């Protein structure tokens, strides 16, 4: 049950409504955006950052979705898991990897060395804010500086998304 009500399209200013319903992204009409619309001055920036991480980053989309599913599991964010399980399949995350990410900890046997390193980093940043020097160094040998920055932004953004979803009680569409 939601803790706050979704903002109806009729209640939104035209600019916000058009942005939420008229976007090019398949994510533009989602309940998370209708909830975020309560923060009229922030919703546009929230959606732009999320969209840039999803569509304009150098970080491989498969790695991004593995990270987001791990965050969803760590944060018990059912909505985030639901939406990103769909996206993970679309970008080629295997069924074995999706099932492994449902476990705590995930089964490492279905992830390559790069994916395991990214999962370690995601877990440490999510749990401790700062990753250990060893884990950070390991990733800096695998990813470019741009990818490492995008990965860190992705982890921060999707932790914020999970916190927002779980505290406002956004429900899965339909």
Classify 143 as helix, strand or coil: coil
Please check whether residue 2 is in contact with residue 168, taking contact to mean a CB–CB distance below 8 angstroms.
yes
CATH for 61-168, options being 1.20.1290.10, 3.20.20.80, 3.30.360.10, 3.40.50.970 = 1.20.1290.10
* Domain map (residue ranges) of the chain: 9-55, 61-168
Q: State the average pLDDT over residues 36-54.
A: 92
The percent of residues above 90 in pLDDT, for the chain, comes to 80
Q: State the average pLDDT over residues 43-61.
A: 94
What whole-number distance in Å separates Cα of residue 168 and Cα of residue 21?
Answer: 21
E strands, the chain, are: none
Q: State the average pLDDT over residues 52-75.
A: 97
pLDDT for residue 27: 54
pLDDT for residue 16: 87
pLDDT for residue 25: 54
What whole-number distance in Å separates Cα of residue 19 and Cα of residue 152?
Answer: 27
Query: Tokens at residue 155, please?
Result: 């982890």
Each as own residue / partner, the long-range contacts of residues 23-27 (CB below 8 Å, 24 or more positions apart, any chain) are 23/47, 23/51, 25/51, 25/54, 25/55, 27/51, 27/54, 27/83
Is the pLDDT at 132 greater than 60? The verdict is yes
What whole-number distance in Å separates Cα of residue 164 and Cα of residue 51?
Answer: 17
Is the pLDDT at 56 greater than 90? The verdict is yes
Q: State the average pLDDT over residues 143-167.
A: 98
What whole-number distance in Å separates Cα of residue 100 and Cα of residue 86?
Answer: 16
Residue 152 has a CB neighbour count (10 Å cut-off) of 17
Query: Tokens at residue 136, please?
Result: 């950070």
| pLDDT, greater one: 161 or 17 | 161
Is the pLDDT at 23 greater than 90? The verdict is no
Is the pLDDT at 84 greater than 80? The verdict is yes
pLDDT for residue 82: 97
Structure confidence at residue 114 as a pLDDT band (50, 70, 90): very high
Per-residue pLDDT tens for 86-97? 999 999 999 999
**Whole-number Cα distances in Å, 24 to 27, 29, 47:** 8, 10, 12
Per-residue pLDDT tens for 100-111? 999 999 999 999
pLDDT for residue 124: 98
């Amino acid at each position: 049950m939601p803790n706050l009500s979704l903002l109806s399209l009729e209640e939104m200013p035209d600019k916000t409504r058009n942005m939420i319903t008229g976007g090019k992204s398949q994510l533009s009409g989602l309940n998370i955006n209708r909830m975020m619309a309560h923060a009229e001055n922030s919703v546009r920036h929230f959606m732009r950052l999320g969209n840039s991480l999803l569509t304009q980053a150098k970080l491989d989309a498969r790695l991004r979705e593995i990270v987001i599913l791990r965050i969803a599991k760590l944060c018990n964010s059912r909505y985030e898991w639901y939406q990103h399980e769909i996206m993970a399949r679309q970008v080629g995350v295997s069924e074995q990897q999706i099932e492994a990410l449902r476990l705590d900890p995930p089964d490492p046997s279905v992830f390559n060395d790069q994916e395991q390193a990214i999962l370690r980093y995601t877990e440490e940043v999510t749990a401790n804010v700062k990753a250990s020097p060893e884990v950070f160094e390991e990733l800096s040998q695998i990813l470019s500086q741009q990818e490492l920055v995008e990965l860190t932004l992705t982890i921060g953004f999707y932790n914020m998304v999970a916190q927002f979803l779980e505290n406002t009680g956004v429900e899965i569409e339909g």
